[in-house]
Structure 1
């Protein structure tokens, strides 16, 4: 078995979690699968897989190697695709990661039209609002909201999300409605947000004209998860700031109340990120174009 076939076999073992399932999928004898993995680990000088009675899992080294295999195999497929007929449709599987609510509200409902346009593309969709290591995890692209750290990834700007400052109706009944930024410092509280990556508590931010103002308020709870952040606001524990689309239903029902609308929070950039490619696979290129089209219509 050549190296590319060994990589294909290894990725199937990781994805299926089983030597037997990978052997069946690729129509190979189980002994061939076991022998190939042993030779692969010996050549690399690292244990790639942990075997238990119930499942096979990648080691840390195996996860890193898996990510490299996925990218390399995708590049090989892209090169081969260039030599197919020019009229051939993009094909293959993409691993993507999307913000949870954005996926549910905007992107997944639009997928039937995408698949009608590109019926030979398959999607493996993850949903999260935190950091994803594309290179290590073999993810083809992610959509992220907010300022991004410097990285080796390629970023394509989609647009900006408007934000809103708010509190629950029960909080407003207890503490009153702040009319100015100065009012915030007179007995008001925040649901404090701590960055999942830096663990630093972020201040509330407001745009006064073109200037950004930061306000730090006391708070009894600090969270680093979006769902917990929302739950704390709904429970009346303090003031928070969210993208407007995320809280539209709560604002419409009156459960949540917008405050300080004349000094809104700064908008958040929306970006699609993907690893650099010498030659971007056609399936990734058309999917990124589709993301920009669908999300752009909502901004």
Structure 2
């Protein structure tokens, strides 16, 4: 990707040729263009320098040299951020197309004689990482030993462009038109509680009977807003606010709270069903479920997927297919499907 760290061999070659004119079509100009694009995406020289593993002074000099070569100012610098000029915006748009074509050209030629290689940053939610992806990552490593995978695991919303992330595996709607998505699967929800919580309480037979029950809910880490419980039976839909009980903002902790008997909540089916079989959780309201939760692999729309990302996307599609609620998969199927 355009935010990849620059290989040491290319950095050495650049330093060896700095005395030459930057207007020449050698590696200097390509590196300067990549650096400008990364600065524009990150919104600061410091973030761009960190993501490219270069000193901040080198990043600033590369952009400055590019501006001298073009004879125009591309960015307006402040102490904390950078803003693109009109010329910078136009140049950025064309630079993205140029680098996408260059990466695709290199990947096509390299792919004919070697496996994908290099750094790949992927962000994914906690439960998806721990229950689906990580247990079978040895299969990905065997197939692609030269890919250096950085796996960011959390339930927060990731800034793909600003953080130099190649892709995220994300659920729900995708309103941002600057992103492209590949659907991986659909996940279903179940309503459940621990037997200890239900002891001495009347199990609800309808969502309206949740009044008086403690709810283990999920809240947004960014806004602090609790997500309501949603139910559907045929054409009837019910939404109940989650205002009584405990709320967490991480999916594994949410299930732990349910197992601890803190209340009633909705969890992913693949995550909860092994606990139904073990008797540590009890399914409630099986006829009342929300719509399935679509899961996507998401990447910036203005980037052409490089060979590393294409390889990971194809591999992840087969892994998450085993979790698709439409085929009735359980957690055991997921973990062992690539074993």
Matches within 5 A, 1:155-166: 155-166=181-192
Work out which of the residue numbers 230, 237, 240 in structure 1 matches 2:255.
Answer: 230
Give the equivalent residue in structure 2 for 1:52.
Answer: none
Structure-2 change in CA distance of 1:194 and 1:110 (3 Å): closer
Structure-2 change in CA distance of 1:107 and 1:129 (3 Å): same
Structure-2 change in CA distance of 1:71 and 1:272 (3 Å): farther
Does structure 2 conserve the Cα–Cα contact (< 8 Å) formed by 1:41 and 1:47? no
Distance in structure 1 (CA, Å) of the matches to 2:301 and 2:149 = 20
Q: What SS does the aligned partner of 2:320 have?
A: helix
Give the equivalent residue in structure 1 for 2:127.
Answer: 101
The range that moved more, 96-105 or 159-168, is: 96-105
Structure-2 change in CA distance of 1:121 and 1:250 (3 Å): same
Give the equivalent residue in structure 2 for 1:39.
Answer: 61
Encode CA deviations 1:122-170: one digit per residue, 9 max, x unaligned: 2111111220010111111111123333331001111211111011222
**1:92 paired to 2:121:** no
In the TM superposition, residue 259 of structure 1 has moved relative to its aligned partner by 0.6
**1:209 paired to 2:244:** no
Q: TM-score, normalised by structure 1?
A: 0.74
**1:200 paired to 2:225:** yes
**1:288 paired to 2:324:** no
Encode CA deviations 1:231-274: one digit per residue, 9 max, x unaligned: 43233332110101222343333222111112223321111101
Q: What SS does the aligned partner of 1:137 have?
A: coil
User: Alpha carbon RMSD of aligned pairs, Å?
Assistant: 3.5
Does structure 2 conserve the Cα–Cα contact (< 8 Å) formed by 1:168 and 1:234? yes
Matches within 5 A, 1:93-242: 93-185=119-211, 187-216=212-241, 218-242=243-267
Encode CA deviations 1:257-299: one digit per residue, 9 max, x unaligned: 1111122233211111011246321221121111111111222
Does structure 2 conserve the Cα–Cα contact (< 8 Å) formed by 1:212 and 1:266? no
Give the equivalent residue in structure 2 for 1:53.
Answer: none
Distance in structure 2 (CA, Å) of the matches to 1:218 and 1:151 = 33
Work out which of the residue numbers 276, 279, 282 in structure 2 matches 1:254.
Answer: 279
In the TM superposition, residue 12 of structure 1 has moved relative to its aligned partner by 9.3
The range that moved more, 190-199 or 160-169, is: 190-199
**Structure 2 stretches lacking a partner, 5+ long:** 1-17, 19-27, 39-45, 66-74, 84-91, 325-339
Distance in structure 2 (CA, Å) of the matches to 1:119 and 1:221 = 43
Structure-2 change in CA distance of 1:156 and 1:210 (3 Å): farther
Does structure 1 conserve the Cα–Cα contact (< 8 Å) formed by 2:126 and 2:251? no
Does structure 2 conserve the Cα–Cα contact (< 8 Å) formed by 1:157 and 1:271? yes
Does structure 1 conserve the Cα–Cα contact (< 8 Å) formed by 2:215 and 2:242? yes
Distance in structure 1 (CA, Å) of the matches to 2:206 and 2:173 = 27
Structure-2 change in CA distance of 1:39 and 1:45 (3 Å): farther
In the TM superposition, residue 73 of structure 1 has moved relative to its aligned partner by 7.1
Distance in structure 2 (CA, Å) of the matches to 1:228 and 1:89 = 38
Q: TM-score, normalised by structure 2?
A: 0.67
Distance in structure 1 (CA, Å) of the matches to 2:208 and 2:58 = 68
Does structure 2 conserve the Cα–Cα contact (< 8 Å) formed by 1:75 and 1:281? no
